[in-house]
Amino acid sequence: MARIHVVIADKDEEYSGSLVDFLLSHYSSRFEVTSFNEDSFLRDYLEKKKESVDLLLLGPGFTLEKRDWDGAGVVVFLAGEEPLPENEKETIFKYQCGERLVNQIMDIYARKNSKFSFPPGGSKKTRVVAFYSAAGGTGKTTLAVGSSLHSAWEGKSVFYLNLEMTPSTELFFSGEQGCSLSNVLFFLRKGGGDLAHKVDGARCEDCFHNGIYFFKPHASALDLKENLASELRLLVNILGLTRRYDRIFVDMSACLDSNNLAVLEACDEIMMVVTGDVVQAKKTNALLKELQSIENSKGAGLLGKIKYVVNMCETRNPPEARPPGFAGQDVYCEVPRVGSLVIPRHGKYGLDLNSCFGEAIYRLNAGFSQNDGGRW
């Protein structure tokens, strides 16, 4: 898909240069960028190549008349220190976080250009891994967060997608964003031609870990109790299709319903988190029977995606505490029980990866590395 041709016109040479550098370093696959600091140079350029300009960012102080830039695609005005004009939908504040600036610009572009289709953001081979369990309290979140942190430290781009009824996302990750998962689900239900852009614009980047992205938690647990199978399947597919992430880790609720089935079907791998607890093993057995029944009726291919992760191991779990077929050689990874695993950090909490838990997460991620690359 052709890149969007962006022309930046701003009197502040340092600002325009910084914006050009940001766009080319973060969005080179999406934008072709040209910049000007003088009216006359921009006017001459538009006179010759006006029709090739998709998006014109016009900073304060430019004295162009409308006829000079009329026909140059979508025009967005960049406001400086002065207050934004009331009810001016095409004006945004120029001094703000780069990601947010781009999202606001593209919101205007998508709204003004009905033919706009959000291009893939990269060329990564995305792999989607779900952390799932038949019961709560097995440590799905700890494993999903630990895998996200370790993958980011490996230099991977990660999306942490928490779909729990009571999420703990903001315990570990922090980022600025007005939207939440509830807004994203609303966008997907409403539909439209710019869904990928809206999903991308709703994400946060963690303030303390480069390369980890997430959605702010939903406004209410009731938002995830509705029938959202189509929306959740579409969400996972859109995140994969942007090809901006090496790995997407899905932290799921412990239930079997149409919503979770849709997510499991959209994932590449399912980390079935189990413990040595006999009651939990009984629930896992029942869950596997349900999945086998679904497999027989729908051919969903779920069982072939499952890898067992034994969490909070004191010793090697006895055979009777394991699900059917859960022999030693079928264990994907064993994770030991560690005390004081969650540690305060930057006003949030982190995980102590300098421990035997961290060694287990390393082994878990080594398996992901061998299988990196999904359907996208």
Q: What is the mean pLDDT of residues 265-291?
A: 90
* pLDDT at residue 11, rounded to an integer: 92
H helix or E strand, kind and range, residue 271 = strand 269-274
- Rounded Cα gap, residues 337 and 334, in angstroms: 10
Residue 228's region, left for phi above 0, alpha for psi from -120 to 50, else beta, is alpha
Q: What is the pLDDT of residues 279-322, one digit of tens each?
A: 888 898 899 999 999 888 877 688 889 999 999 987 555 555 55
Percentage of the chain exceeding pLDDT 90: 42
- Rounded Cα gap, residues 170 and 214, in angstroms: 10
Task: Spell out a b/e string for 317-343, using b for 16 or more CB atoms within 10 Å of the CB, else e.
Answer: beeebbbeebeeeebebbbeebeebee
Torsion sign, CA atoms 295, 298, 299, 300? negative
Percentage of the chain exceeding pLDDT 70: 87
Q: What is the mean pLDDT of residues 206-217?
A: 91
* pLDDT at residue 374, rounded to an integer: 62
Q: For residue 116, what are its two tokens?
A: 């706009």
Q: What is the pLDDT of residues 26-70, one digit of tens each?
A: 777 778 899 999 999 998 988 888 778 889 999 988 888 878 878
Contact 43, 64 (CB under 8 A): yes
Name 223's Cβ contacts closer than 8 Å, sequence gap at least 6.
Answer: 181, 182, 185
Q: What is the pLDDT of residues 116-140, one digit of tens each?
A: 555 555 667 899 999 999 999 999 9
Pairing status of strand 348-351 against strand 342-345: antiparallel
* pLDDT at residue 84, rounded to an integer: 55
Residue 110's pLDDT band (boundaries 50, 70, 90)?
confident
Axis-axis angle for helices 181-190, 229-241 (nearest 10): 100
Residue 324's pLDDT band (boundaries 50, 70, 90)?
very low
Q: What is the mean pLDDT of the chain?
A: 84
Q: What is the pLDDT of residues 338-371, one digit of tens each?
A: 988 998 987 888 899 999 999 999 999 888 766 6
